[in-house]
């Protein structure tokens, strides 16, 4: 599996490759996806959904983040807590030394896969939590997840009283679970993605990675990482280890200076990746399957990390065939991997008849600008092929403490006919999939955030003279007086999609799904959507929003 890295911003992804008998087959396994024949016995009475519901009880993200903020001046306390949880499970940091790890961090861009190769992994998960722990590019199977989940959770539960009743928070638990899975499955390579930052992140318990990588940096998670690019770079550089090679893409000058200083202090050799155009492939210019210039930058990082690991792992003690940090001649399989790379939820286009969806989980100002650049170009290409008028719709949501108003401002030049807002709730009625439940924020707060986003959109589009908006559901109490602007707020993803598509996409128009009644005045607003030859929908602002949409597109796989 050739690794194409996308180093994330929230919640880690853990990817690994099953071990082979010799270096040659390991290399083949790294370049090609391998299907394991191993099956895990199902623990009686403990089903997958039971495991997910139990996992969700650890969703103390808000309080956990506050603990991180309070402990920033005492990072060793955070790492010591992680060591304690590991020991309760029966693991030690010395055990982690036996994993061959590539440790990655950054703000935008990270890991991997495509066709017959390892894919850019998504973090947080889009549809199912199993996406966060992958073996050979594929999310860990439900049976295997269930088996290992209860092993880890059971040991922590048994030792809880002796440790003041403490249990690890959601992400920390998943990190421990990933370590346990990889050790039990004896993987040959483990790609570990930082959750938030680096220096204080629970994945930084790793002592001896084979190589480290830092993708493009931007402003995100400022309450934890700091409000300047220099502070964020300092945090990201915390994953550097003495003598371990590290790579980064070109960064803003101030950030680059901090990374170089961190590397010098720690004793870590640091290289800046070359431009993708500088590589010398026998087939000519390298092509990347993902749209956007920033993906070409990430591809170069992936090539450097992959080649370094392959050289160190399979040619120990021998002189490297390439000069680290310099362009080299990628193998044919590396070339194919770059071209075949897919990344659900990022620069992804899905066409369902007359409705075309453009999905991108951008949620920082920099990544939103990249999203806009991609959308304007991609939508224009589709519009040139349309048989008549095209209606453009924005479906947006943002979570946490991110500056949604600034992101909305970046989106204005896309010239949408409608701007639609909804919370990251897949369906307002009926039971939701446990994988996508979030207990860290109330429904009221989510809807209030949507209304704030709607007002920001009207402000940025010179419609500030409007009197406000209301939740567009019949028989509901208006939060503020109704207005006639082309902005709408819906209570869930399904209701928003059903209004946008106006029955023209069977994937969301299933009559078996309960539909919330919409006011007649709102139905009238949809006339341009019904009359248009095609409807183009950009879905962005939150990976959770994108994941909720994808769940409706393929409900069978999300069960």
Convert the pLDDT of each residue in 61-82 to its tens digit.
455 555 555 555 566 777 889 9
Confidence class for position 298, pLDDT limits 50, 70, 90: confident
Specify the pLDDT at position 445: 85
Q: Which residues pair with 110 in a beta bridge?
A: 6
Is residue 535 within a helix (H) or strand (E), and if so which, with residue range?
Answer: strand 534-540
CA angle (44 as vertex; 38, 47 as ends), nearest 5:
75
Specify the pLDDT at position 269: 95
φ and ψ at residue 390, rounded to 5 degrees: -120, 135
Instruction: Give the residue-averaged pLDDT of 140-163.
Output: 94
Specify the pLDDT at position 33: 24
Specify the pLDDT at position 427: 79
Instruction: Kindly calculate the radius of gyration of the chain based on its CA atoms and give it in whole angstroms.
Output: 24
- For residues 446 and 377, is the Cβ–Cβ distance under 8 A? no
Distance CA 206, CA 188 (A): 16
Single pTM value for the model: 0.76
Specify the pLDDT at position 454: 93
Q: By mean pLDDT, which of 33-47, 180-194, 220-234, 430-444 is the weakest?
A: 33-47
- For residues 17 and 29, is the Cβ–Cβ distance under 8 A? yes
Specify the pLDDT at position 288: 86
Output the six-digit token pair for 307. 């080649």
- For residues 417 and 465, is the Cβ–Cβ distance under 8 A? no
pLDDT tens digits along 527-538: 999 999 999 999
346 is in an annotated binding site: yes
Q: By mean pLDDT, which of 4-8, 383-387, 427-431 is the weakest?
A: 4-8
Coil/strand/helix, residue 90: coil
Of 388, 191, 393, whose CA–CA distance to 302 is shortest?
A: 191
Q: Where are the beta strands (DSSP E) in 389-523?
A: 390-396, 418-421, 487-489
Specify the pLDDT at position 285: 85
pLDDT tens digits along 313-353: 776 655 445 567 888 888 888 888 888 877 788 889 999 99
Confidence class for position 1, pLDDT limits 50, 70, 90: very low
For residue 383, pLDDT over 70 is answered with yes
Helix, strand, coil share of the chain (percent; to 5): 40, 15, 45
Instruction: Give the residue-averaged pLDDT of 123-131.
Output: 74
Contacts of 448 (CB under 8 A, 6+ apart): none
Instruction: Give the residue-averaged pLDDT of 253-275.
Output: 95
Distance CA 6, CA 507 (A): 29
pLDDT tens digits along 454-502: 999 998 886 434 444 444 544 433 433 333 348 999 999 999 999 999 9
Distance CA 471, CA 370 (A): 31
Mean model confidence pLDDT for the chain: 79
Most confident stretch, 6-15, 156-165, 281-290, 344-353: 156-165
Distance CA 256, CA 249 (A): 9
Contacts of 401 (CB under 8 A, 6+ apart): 222, 223
Instruction: Give the residue-averaged pLDDT of 14-36.
Output: 39
Contacts of 323 (CB under 8 A, 6+ apart): none
Specify the pLDDT at position 505: 93
193 is in an annotated binding site: yes
For residue 243, pLDDT over 80 is answered with yes
How many Cβ atoms sit within 10 Å of the Cβ of residue 158?
A: 10
Output the six-digit token pair for 103. 């440790």
504 is in an annotated binding site: no
For residue 60, pLDDT over 70 is answered with no
Structural domains in the chain, sorted by start:
48-60+72-340 (3.40.1190.10), 348-463+482-558 (3.90.190.20)
How many Cβ atoms sit within 10 Å of the Cβ of residue 278?
A: 12
Say if residue 502 is exposed, middle or buried (CB neighbours under 10 Å; 0-12, 13-18, 19+). Answer: buried
534 is in an annotated binding site: no
Instruction: Give the residue-averaged pLDDT of 237-249.
Output: 95
Establish how many alpha carbons lie within 13 A of residue 422's alpha carbon, considering only the half-sphere containing its beta carbon: 27
Distance CA 319, CA 312 (A): 9
Specify the pLDDT at position 260: 96
Specify the pLDDT at position 39: 38
φ and ψ at residue 529, rounded to 5 degrees: -70, -40
Specify the pLDDT at position 417: 93
430 is in an annotated binding site: no
For residue 23, pLDDT over 80 is answered with no
What percent of the chain stands above pLDDT 90?
A: 43
Specify the pLDDT at position 496: 94
Distance CA 350, CA 385 (A): 15
Most confident stretch, 29-33, 41-45, 252-256: 252-256
Confidence class for position 113, pLDDT limits 50, 70, 90: very low
For residue 431, pLDDT over 70 is answered with no
Output the six-digit token pair for 261. 């200083």
Confidence class for position 222, pLDDT limits 50, 70, 90: low
Specify the pLDDT at position 146: 94
Specify the pLDDT at position 364: 85
Q: What CA–CA distances, in Å, run from 227 to 224, 230, 248, 366, 404?
A: 9, 9, 21, 15, 16
For residue 117, pLDDT over 50 is answered with no
């Amino acid at each position: 599996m050739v690794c194409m890295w996308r180093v994330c911003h929230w919640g880690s992804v853990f990817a690994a490759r099953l071990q082979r008998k010799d270096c040659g087959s390991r290399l083949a396994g790294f370049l090609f996806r391998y299907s394991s024949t191993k099956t895990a016995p199902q623990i009686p009475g403990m089903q997958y959904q039971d495991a997910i519901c139990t996992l969700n009880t650890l969703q103390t993200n808000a309080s956990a983040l506050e603990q991180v903020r309070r402990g920033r001046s005492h990072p060793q306390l955070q790492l010591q807590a992680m060591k304690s949880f590991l020991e309760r499970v029966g693991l030690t940091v010395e055990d982690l030394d036996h994993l061959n790890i590539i440790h990655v961090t950054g703000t935008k861009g990270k890991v991997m896969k495509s066709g017959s190769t390892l894919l850019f992994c998504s973090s947080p998960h889009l549809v199912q939590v199993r996406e966060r722990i992958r073996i050979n590019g594929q999310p860990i199977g439900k049976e295997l997840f269930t088996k290992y989940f209860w092993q880890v959770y059971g040991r922590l539960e048994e030792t809880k009283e002796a440790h003041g009743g403490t249990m690890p928070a959601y992400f920390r638990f998943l990190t421990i679970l990933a370590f346990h899975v990889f050790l039990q499955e004896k993987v040959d390579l483990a790609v570990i993605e930082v959750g938030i930052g680096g220096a204080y992140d629970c994945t930084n318990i790793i002592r001896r990675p084979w190589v480290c990588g830092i993708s493009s940096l931007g402003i995100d998670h400022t309450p934890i990482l700091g409000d300047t690019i220099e502070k964020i770079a300092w945090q990201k550089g915390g994953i550097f280890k003495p003598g371990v090679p590290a790579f980064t893409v070109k960064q803003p000058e101030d950030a680059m200076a901090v990374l170089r200083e961190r590397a010098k202090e720690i004793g870590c050799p640091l290289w800046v990746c070359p431009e993708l155009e500088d590589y010398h492939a026998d087939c000519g210019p390298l092509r990347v399957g993902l749209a956007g210039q920033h993906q070409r930058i990430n591809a170069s990082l992936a090539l450097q990390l992959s080649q370094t690991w392959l050289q160190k792992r399979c040619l120990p003690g021998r002189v490297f065939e390439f000069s680290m940090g310099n362009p080299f001649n990628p193998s044919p399989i590396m070339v194919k991997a770059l071209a075949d790379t897919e990344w659900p939820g990022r620069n992804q286009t899905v066409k369902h008849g007359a409705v075309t969806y453009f999905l991108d989980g951008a949620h920082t100002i920099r990544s939103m600008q990249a999203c806009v650049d991609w959308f304007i170009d991609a939508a224009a290409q589709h519009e040139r092929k349309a048989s008549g008028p095209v209606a453009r719709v924005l479906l947006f949501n943002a979570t946490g403490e991110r500056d949604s108003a600034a992101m909305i401002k970046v989106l204005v030049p896309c010239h949408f006919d409608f701007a639609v807002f909804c919370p990251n709730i897949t369906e307002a009625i009926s039971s939701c999939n446990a994988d996508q439940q979030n207990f860290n924020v109330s429904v009221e707060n989510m809807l209030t955030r949507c209304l704030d986003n709607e007002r920001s959109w009207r402000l940025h589009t010179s419609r500030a003279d409007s009197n406000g908006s209301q939740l567009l559901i019949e028989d509901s109490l208006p939060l503020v007086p109704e207005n006639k602007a082309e902005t709408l707020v819906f209570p869930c993803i399904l209701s928003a999609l059903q209004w946008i598509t106006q029955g023209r996409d069977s994937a969301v128009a299933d009559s078996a799904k309960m539909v919330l009644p919409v006011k007649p005045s709102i139905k009238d607003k949809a006339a341009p959507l019904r009359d248009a030859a095609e409807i183009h929908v950009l879905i962005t602002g939150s990976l959770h929003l994108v994941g909720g949409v994808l769940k409706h597109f393929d409900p069978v796989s999300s069960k």
